[in-house]
Every structure is written in structure tokens, then in C-alpha cells.
Amino acid sequence: MSSGIVLQGFGLGLSMIVPIGAQNAFVLNQGIRKHHHVAVATICFICDALLILLGVFGGGAMLANNEILLNVVTLGGVAFLLTYAFQSLRQAWRAQNDDASSASTSTSATANKTLLSVILGALAVTLLNPHVYLDTVVVLGSIGGQFEPSQRNAFAIGTVLASLVWFYGIALGAAKLSPVLSKPRVRQVIDVLVAAMMIYVAYLLMQKWMMNWEG
């Protein structure tokens, strides 16, 4: 197994995973709150790893040619992103208007969300995000498909390793920096930035969907 191809897969994997805003924002938020953040990182990693393997070993072309599936995923992703953006803005508004005690109560209520709801959120932000499919399955799949079968395994290992390092890195890193990142004012800024990013990604997805529909 070529270590050079593993490193190539690792670098390309990071270049695809890092810009996926919605997924990363969800993991970051859970890490800051120290609320099932390891479980969230695990869910995102497993989903990404399965999609990467699907793409590298032959599933990329099938997904790229399935317009109905891509349309469903796109519209579902837009709905999820806008819902998440609304929740982030609502949290930022509460942080602005509440005093320290009520903010503490709000944080406590957030921490009481069940593990199931957090897992469902992680699945939604991953599987309803068309960028995940396009980047991991289609792009990485098309690149990985160009390697010989023996080298393809090394490329797949590198890309999956990139996903592992990234998701656990931001989850554990956010938890480590939680005392600073969870301060009310910092938390408010993060919530507003997350909401803006979600709305922007939703706009781009909707714009692309409308162009494809008109075309």
C-alpha cells in the first residue's frame, strides 16, 4: 500500500470536508455545549466514511445521474438549513435580552435535549446536505475511481482518515475551548454567524436547484 496515495487521499478528503458549513457548524455547536459532541462526531464520521467508500468503489456515477434523488435531497437540505438558521437566531436573540441567570437556565435546557434528538440532528445535517453527496460521493468517487484497484484502497483509507481527524478534532477542540466559546457574548456572535452561514448555503442550494429546474 502506497503511503503517498494515502496522503493524497487525506489531503483531498480534508479539502472536501472542511468547507461543508452546515455539518461543521452542528459539530462545533455541540462541542461548545459539551452535549453529546463525541456521539455527533461519530455519526458524522460514519456517514461520511460510508459515502466516501460508496463513491470510491463505484457509486458516484449512479448518484450523479439520479436527478430525482438529488432534487429531493436539495429541497430537504434547504428546509433543514433554514430551520437551523431560525433556531440559531432565536438563541442569539435570547442571549441578547436575557440576564445571566436566564441565560444559564436556557443553557441548562439545551443540555437536557435527549441523545436521540442530537443523533437525529446530526443525521439530518449530514444526509440532507447535498454538498456532502456531491463532494464525498461524486467528486472523491470520480478521483478514486481513476486509481488501480490496489491503489484505490489506499486512497479510500486516506480520505476516511481525513474525515476521522476532522470531525473528532473540531468536536473535542470546541469542547476544550468551551469556557471561552460558551460566554454569552461569544455564544451570541457564533449563533449569528452560524445562522448567516446556513441561510447563505440554503440560498446557494436553492439558486442552483432553480437553475437546474429551468434548464
- What local confidence, expressed as pLDDT, does residue 109 receive? 44
Residue 129 DSSP one-character state: -
Q: Is 23 exposed, middle or buried (0-12, 13-18, 19+ CB in 10 A)?
A: buried
pLDDT tens over the chain, length 215 residues: 678 889 988 988 887 787 656 788 889 888 988 889 999 999 999 999 998 888 888 765 565 566 776 677 677 767 777 887 887 788 777 765 654 444 444 444 444 468 888 888 889 888 877 777 777 777 777 777 777 877 888 988 999 999 999 999 999 999 998 888 777 787 788 778 878 877 877 787 777 667 766 65
- What local confidence, expressed as pLDDT, does residue 41 receive? 94
CB-based contact 194:88 (threshold 8 Å): yes
pTM: 0.69
Cα–Cα nearest to 187, from 121, 104, 80, 82:
104
